[in-house]
């Protein structure tokens, strides 16, 4: 037998350590080459780590939530090879790279967001031979619920298990007294006892750290403005009615994106990054628009690049594409980084006012609240108009309150007269 030492690989871009999010193996397990052993996470991406060899797991280093340095021992195997002890190299592999062949030990990492993310399973009665395809979030939920994903039929591409497939499996597996995986309360007045401890790991840990850093280091200047979007709603409805059948409807977001790209030409200080290490402000000429998106793994910010050069329908398509990629766990590292300013919207849940936290190192974030019909005074008379608030936050170190308010007022002017969004200045 040969002792095979596998070390935490170099995940690129200066990564010195990675967090263990979940293990799919345990000491004593027999694993097959290319079988997914663990999910790890850097500040940039979630990554699945496949077994470099077939053999028996002897030791595992790191519990979920632990940080393991690149080059540190991760898993030790016993293999049938006749050579002396072998140490698997910690090779640099981009988290967005496609899965490499199992025999290429210098490229042992498969990105968790890759279509190739999978676990080899053995063909048995009632099971499907091949790869079980599911997102890391679905795998985690399955482990917590005790659901064997090999028994769940997938409706996605190549049999990929989609969130709706998992929900259906949860519902069918729910015991009496449960519905949809949730307990039905026997009484509204029944006392509840106990607590639940949830370890903060993975994407949620990264979100928590970044939000804490942003709130602690950036003095936020918040500004809320009321926007009359009656004319915008009329234009939106008209364009949707003229679109070919089957075309996804326009929302307010592409109009906001188009207007924001115009306004930022006048307020370049709001389309910038602050490099704290060099103490330098970097003003960006292109508008790479971050779109805050709620996913099963937490909040992600996919990026619409060069919003300033896109048509309205192109903006709509790209916002939808990157948002769906983020929700489905398919967004690449490039698609989740590099934004210069961010918009965030809770849609119909948008409330009246919000206080969005800046997506550092950016200078500003624009929050969209819900649009409602309200009575207002217009030309001396009461009229029903559609009103929507924009809640914005700016880095007050580098964006003065006057400039922040002036930018939002300029945005307001375009949105209240939407035809002017598309007229060259």
Q: At what angle are helices 401-416 and 252-263 packed, to 10 degrees?
A: 130
Structure tokens at 389: 């608030």
Determine if the peptide bond prior to 266 is cis (ω within 30°): no
Angstrom distance (rounded) from CA 403 to CA 364: 12
What strand order describes the sheet that includes 36-41? 67-69, 17-23, 36-41, 46-50, 110-111
Angstrom distance (rounded) from CA 20 to CA 22: 6
Say which of 306, 400, 413, 417 is annotated catalytic: 400
Return the pLDDT at 285: 97
Return the pLDDT at 200: 86
**75, 6 Cβ separation under 8 angstroms:** yes
Please count the other Cβ atoms lying within 10 Å of the Cβ belonging to residue 30.
Answer: 12
Please, what sign has the CA dihedral across residues 193, 208, 334, 61?
Answer: negative
Those residues whose C-beta lies under 8 Å from the C-beta of residue 275, and which sit 6 or more positions away, are 281, 282, 361
Return the pLDDT at 166: 81
396 labelled catalytic: yes
80 labelled catalytic: no
Return the pLDDT at 47: 83
Those residues whose C-beta lies under 8 Å from the C-beta of residue 125, and which sit 6 or more positions away, are none
Return the pLDDT at 123: 34
pLDDT tens for the 425 residues of the chain, in order: 789 999 998 877 677 888 898 899 999 999 998 899 998 888 767 788 999 999 999 999 998 888 999 999 999 999 886 555 566 554 434 333 333 333 333 333 344 443 333 333 333 333 333 457 777 677 777 777 778 887 888 887 667 788 778 888 877 765 555 544 444 555 678 888 999 888 888 888 888 888 999 999 999 999 999 999 999 999 999 999 999 999 999 999 999 999 999 999 999 999 999 999 999 999 999 999 999 999 888 889 999 999 999 999 999 999 999 999 999 888 888 999 999 999 999 877 778 999 999 999 999 999 999 999 999 999 999 999 999 999 999 999 999 999 999 999 999 999 999 999 999 87
What is the SS3 string spanning 226-263?
EEECHHHHHHHHHHHHHCCCCCCCCCHHHHHHHHHHHH
């Amino acid at each position: 037998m040969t002792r095979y030492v596998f070390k935490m690989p170099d995940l690129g871009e200066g990564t010195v350590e990675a967090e263990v999010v979940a293990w799919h193996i345990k000491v004593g397990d027999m694993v097959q080459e290319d079988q997914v052993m663990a999910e790890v996470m850097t500040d940039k991406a979630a990554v699945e780590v496949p077994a470099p060899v077939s053999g028996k797991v002897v030791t595992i280093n790191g519990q979920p939530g632990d940080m393991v340095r690149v080059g540190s021992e991760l898993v030790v195997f016993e293999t049938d090879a006749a050579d002396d002890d072998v140490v698997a190299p910690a090779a640099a592999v981009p988290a967005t790279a496609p899965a490499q062949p199992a025999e290429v030990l210098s490229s042992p990492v498969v990105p968790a967001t890759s279509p190739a993310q999978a676990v080899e399973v053995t063909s048995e009665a009632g099971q499907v031979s091949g790869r079980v395809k599911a997102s890391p979030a679905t795998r985690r939920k399955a482990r917590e619920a005790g659901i064997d994903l090999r028994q769940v039929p997938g409706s996605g591409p190549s049999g990929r298990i989609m969130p709706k497939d998992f929900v259906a499996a949860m519902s069918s597996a729910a015991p009496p007294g449960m519905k949809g995986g949730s307990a039905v309360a026997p009484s509204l007045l029944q006392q509840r006892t106990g607590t639940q401890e949830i370890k903060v790991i993975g994407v949620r840990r990264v979100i928590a750290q970044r939000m804490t850093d942003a709130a602690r280091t950036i003095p936020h200047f918040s500004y809320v403005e009321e926007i009359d979007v009656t004319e915008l709603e009329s234009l939106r409805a008209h364009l949707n009615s003229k679109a070919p059948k089957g075309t996804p409807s326009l929302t307010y977001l592409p109009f906001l994106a188009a207007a924001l790209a115009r306004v930022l030409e006048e307020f370049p200080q709001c389309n910038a990054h602050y490099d704290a290490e060099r103490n330098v402000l970097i003003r960006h000429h292109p508008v790479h628009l971050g779109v805050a998106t709620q996913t099963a793994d937490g909040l992600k910010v996919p990026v619409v690049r060069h919003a300033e050069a896109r048509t309205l329908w192109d903006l709509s398509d790209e916002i939808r594409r990157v948002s769906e990629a983020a929700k489905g766990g398919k967004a690449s590292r490039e698609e989740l980084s590099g934004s210069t300013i961010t918009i965030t919207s809770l849609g119909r849940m948008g409330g009246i006012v919000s206080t969005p936290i800046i997506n550092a190192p950016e200078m500003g974030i624009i929050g969209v609240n819900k649009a409602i019909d309200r009575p207002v005074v217009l030309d001396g008379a009461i009229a029903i108009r559609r009103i929507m608030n924009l809640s914005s936050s700016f880095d007050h170190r580098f964006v003065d309150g006057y400039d922040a308010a002036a930018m939002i007022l300029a945005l307001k002017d375009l949105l209240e007269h939407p035809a002017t969004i598309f007229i060259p200045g």
